[in-house]
């Protein structure tokens, strides 16, 4: 601490009343959270200012003491932000570091701040405020990513590419349609973020250690001052609950899973073998030995971030599993996972947004690939159903024979001679060639949510009004 006095091996000045001596060095090391929870300093100070203001309003502390406390806390805020604040591991965590400094700055009134409060509701408040702000940032970041996809989808509503199942060419789709699939995924992630903000929008402060308090506090006032919709309703649950952190981590894990699938596609698409896209120099790297290489490192790292984010979710679920009510020190292990996930997710979304905006779409390569691999076989089968009245199963069989013939001849379906097709089924006419091109194929998929350019444009318009 800046006052220096707390570095001697005496009992803790915050809770040391019944302790004759200080902690063993190992105890101090395992107990301290200041190394990571200092990240909560701004939330801690905001919470304390709201609490002190409420205590004064309720006549629990004097207005003069409140003024000194608020002034002292603001001084501490600037000390921390300017880097002059000295954090002490002996003072365990951010709450006691700030309170000890307040005592050094303003003397006895500092001791009144903790009236009707415990570190249990204090940490629940600080962490909740932090996670709420992070969720708000995530919502914005996802909105930016969705906007980048909407622009690319609009630009490429007519660009034909192969659609895949089992990573085998299945049917032609448009690149715009494929982009819009990601819009749906990230749109769901964002909806989950919004729900989570709604769930967690309750103020924990005033639950005290676990039972509430006999002081005439006004929890609605602190809730309002801190931007929460209302106070939490059960003081025991309030200090036991880390659902907001678990929800953040599970939302992040699902979003990271989506990002990893996109990352994987970018890696595949940018290979010379596929050549569907070219990544910008800004989002790729070279090789130190192979001069020809351009590696999709950013996409690979996004793909990998999913591992640590999923790990964080499992870690916190495991910490919380089987914990008796109410607070246990286990819960101090909730923060690092969340901080790490927040940083990883922010980076991953930002990198992906950049890649999506910057990548060059190689429409010629996409179209060539879309036309190979008998991707319009379903169109031939559908034509036989529609124009020749065949049951779909028979049409499927006839088409299978046409594909086998094309394979034998080493050509595409559209290159088969009419006579050859008629030998398989005499009902086939030269009108069939109209549906065998990839453009005709995608244009025909006009069902709601289908790949026809007109349909994709409708979906883009729908999302534009919601983004
Ligand atoms: N550093 C603690 C945490 O992060 C603060 C709460 C401590 N409460 C207690 N009763 N020891 O959870």
pLDDT tens for each residue of 122-173: 999 999 999 999 999 999 999 999 999 999 999 999 999 999 999 999 899 9
Query: Residue 103 above 80 pLDDT?
Result: yes
Q: Express each pLDDT in 236-290 by its tens digit.
A: 999 999 999 999 999 999 999 999 999 999 999 999 999 999 998 888 777 776 7
Instruction: Give the pLDDT of residue 1.
Output: 38
- How would residue 9 be classed by pLDDT, with cut points 50, 70 and 90? low
Task: Output 7 or 397, whichever has higher pLDDT.
Answer: 397
Report CA(32)–ligand 1 centroid distance (Å): 9
- How would residue 3 be classed by pLDDT, with cut points 50, 70 and 90? very low
Can you spell out the DSSP letters for 324-362? PSS--GGGGGGHHHHHHHHHHHHHHHHHHHHHHHHPEE-
CB of 93 shorter than 6 A to ligand 1: yes
Q: Which atom of ligand 1 is nearest to the CA of 92?
A: 1
CB of 356 shorter than 6 A to ligand 1: no
CB of 87 shorter than 6 A to ligand 1: no
Q: Is 32 helix (H, G, I), strand (E, B) or coil?
A: coil
Name the residues annotated as catalytic. Answer: 166, 287
Strand partners, 163: 171
Can you spell out the DSSP letters for 353-390? HHHHHHPEE-HHHHHHHHHSSSTTHHHHHHHHHHHH--
Tokens of 317: 């679920």
Instruction: Report, as an integer, the average pLDDT of 428-444.
Output: 91
Q: Express each pLDDT in 322-380 by its tens digit.
A: 999 999 999 999 999 999 999 999 999 999 999 999 999 999 999 999 988 888 899 99
Instruction: Give the pLDDT of residue 321.
Output: 98
Tokens of 323: 């914990």
Instruction: Report, as an integer, the average pLDDT of 79-100.
Output: 97
Q: Which atom of ligand 1 is nearest to the CA of 335?
A: 4
Query: Residue 13 above 80 pLDDT?
Result: no
pTM of the prediction?
Answer: 0.91
CA-closest residue to ligand 1 atom 3: 332
Please work out, in degrees rounded to the nearest 5, the angle formed at the alpha carbon of residue 135 by the alpha carbons of 132 and 139. Answer: 140
CB of 332 shorter than 6 A to ligand 1: yes
Query: Residue 293 above 80 pLDDT?
Result: no
Please provide residue 10's backbone torsions phi and psi, each rounded to the nearest 5 degrees: -115, 175
Instruction: Give the pLDDT of residue 10.
Output: 67
Tokens of 221: 């006032």
CB of 1 shorter than 6 A to ligand 1: no
CA-closest residue to ligand 1 atom 11: 329
CB of 37 shorter than 6 A to ligand 1: yes
Q: Express each pLDDT in 172-208 by its tens digit.
A: 999 999 999 999 999 999 999 999 999 999 999 999 9
Instruction: Give the pLDDT of residue 343.
Output: 98
Report CA(123)–ligand 1 centroid distance (Å): 7
Report CA(108)–ligand 1 centroid distance (Å): 23
Instruction: Give the pLDDT of residue 450.
Output: 97
Instruction: Give the pLDDT of residue 406.
Output: 94
- Of 329, 336, 338, best ligand 1 pocket probe by most atoms within 8 Å of the beta carbon: 329
Query: Residue 8 above 60 pLDDT?
Result: no
């Amino acid at each position: 601490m800046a006052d220096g006095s707390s570095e001697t091996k005496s009992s803790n000045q915050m809770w040391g009343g019944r302790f004759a001596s200080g902690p063993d060095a190992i105890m101090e090391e395992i107990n301290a959270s200041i190394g990571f929870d200092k990240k909560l300093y701004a939330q801690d100070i905001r919470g304390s200012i709201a609490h002190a203001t409420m205590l004064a309003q309720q006549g629990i502390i004097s207005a003069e003491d409140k003024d000194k406390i608020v002034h002292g806390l603001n001084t501490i805020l600037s000390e921390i932000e300017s880097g002059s604040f000295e954090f002490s591991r002996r003072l365990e965590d951010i709450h006691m570091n700030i309170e000890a400094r307040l005592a050094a700055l303003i003397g006895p009134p500092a001791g009144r701040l903790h009236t009707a409060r415990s570190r249990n509701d204090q940490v629940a408040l600080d962490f909740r405020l932090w996670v709420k702000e992070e969720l708000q940032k995530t919502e914005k970041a996802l909105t930016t990513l969705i906007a980048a996809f909407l622009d690319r989808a609009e630009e490429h509503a007519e660009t034909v590419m192969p659609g895949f199942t089992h990573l085998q060419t299945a049917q032609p789709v448009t690149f715009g349609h494929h982009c819009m699939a990601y819009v749906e995924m990230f749109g769901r992630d964002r909806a989950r973020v919004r729900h989570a903000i709604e769930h967690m929008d309750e103020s924990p402060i005033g639950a005290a250690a676990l039972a509430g308090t006999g002081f005439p506090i006004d929890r609605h006032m602190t809730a309002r001052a801190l931007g929460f919709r209302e106070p939490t309703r059960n003081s025991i649950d309030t200090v036991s609950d880390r659902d907001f952190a678990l929800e953040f981590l599970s939302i992040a894990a699902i979003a990271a899973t989506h990002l990893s699938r996109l990352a994987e596609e970018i890696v595949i698409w940018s290979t010379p073998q596929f050549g569907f896209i070219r990544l910008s120099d800004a989002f790729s790297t070279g090789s130190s030995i192979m001069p020809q290489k351009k590696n999709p490192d950013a996409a690979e790292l996004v793909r990998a971030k999913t591992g640590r984010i999923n790990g964080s979710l499992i870690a916190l679920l495991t910490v919380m599993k089987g914990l008796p009510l109410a607070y246990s020190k286990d819960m101090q292990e909730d923060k690092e996972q969340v901080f790490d996930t927040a940083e990883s997710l922010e980076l991953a979304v930002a990198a992906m947004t950049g890649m999506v905006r910057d990548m060059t779409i190689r429409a010629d390569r996409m179209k060539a690939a879309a036309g190979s691999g008998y991707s319009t076989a379903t169109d031939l089968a559908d034509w036989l159903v529609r124009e020749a009245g065949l049951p779909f199963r028979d049409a499927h069989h006839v088409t299978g024979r046409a594909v086998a013939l094309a394979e034998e001849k080493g050509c595409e379906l559209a290159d088969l001679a009419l006579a050859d097709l008629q030998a398989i089924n005499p009902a086939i006419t030269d009108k069939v060639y109209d549906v065998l091109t990839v453009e005709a194929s995608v244009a025909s998929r006009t069902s709601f949510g289908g790949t026809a350019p007109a349909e994709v444009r409708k979906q883009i318009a729908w999302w534009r009004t919601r983004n």
